A and B are shown apart, each in its own frame.
Chain A
Amino acid sequence: KAGVTQTPRYLIKTRGQQVTLSCSPISGHRSVSWYQQTPGQGLQFLFEYFSETQRNKGNFPGRFSGRQFSNSRSEMNVSTLELGDSALYLCASSPGLAGGRNEQFFGPGTRLTVL
């Protein structure tokens, strides 16, 4: 099975711009979660999508949004970029089904630099 893929791997933007990141989950997985990782704050949960619906949300401002398509691929968008948005954005997929383990499989991440 192919793993989780994220595009692009690296991105440089300037303050005020917006950015869209993409994640393709493992085939058959219906849950996609997004995380922001910075050296100072560590790993922080952004949101989770399951069957095209946002199921869980972290504590981030409304500038951070996401969506999921019918093929389970997901995108996250950050509008009005700030310097502090520079981070590694990780996507994780899981079956997301009821019962049992809900092990997360991570992609390699998108490194976003805001200048």
Chain B
Amino acid sequence: GEDVEQSLFLSVREGDSSVINCTYTDSSSTYLYWYKQEPGAGLQLLTYIFSNMDMKQDQRLTVLLNKKDKHLSLRIADTQTGDSAIYFCAAGGRFSGGYQKVTFGIGTKLQVIP
């Protein structure tokens, strides 16, 4: 089945850019997602990218997709202390029985140092 891998921890200084990386295994993944989890809360969808795109920008967030290498990244510009959270990559993999199963990575904890 689909595997989604991401590193567990990233530390950046306030004002710097953060880049969170993710790799996935299923080349037929059509939708790729980034979720954010703040302390004590569930996961919230930040953004998603369709597999026929290689970049998507939304204010301070930039998603880059390298389909050949099955690599996804999330860049947060001008990182703020409020961005401290766990970020999850998820891949909508192969359609099975007509629906798309979404597989999550284990989450990257972003620590922003003031």
Contacts and interface: CB of A to CB of B under 8 A. Distances in A.
A103 B97 CA distance: 17
A42 B48 contact: no
Interface string B94-107: 01011111111111
Contact of B100 (A45, A90, A92, A102): A102
A43 B42 contact: no
Which size class do B's interface residues fall under?
Answer: 20 to 34
A102 B92 contact: yes
Interface stretch (A13-21, A62-70, A76-84, A93-101): A93-101
Contact of B44 (A43, A98, A106): A106
Interface residues of A, number: 30
Contacts, number: 68
A35 B107 CA distance: 13
Contacts of A94: 102
B110 to A, nearest CB: 14
A102 B42 contact: no
Contacts of B92: 101-102
Nearest to B104: A43
Interface of B: 8, 31, 33, 35, 40-45, 48, 88, 90, 92, 95, 97-107
Interface of A: 4, 31, 35, 37, 41-45, 48, 50, 55-56, 90, 92, 94, 96-109
7 contacts: A37-B107, A41-B106, A43-B88, A99-B95, A99-B98, A102-B102, A103-B45
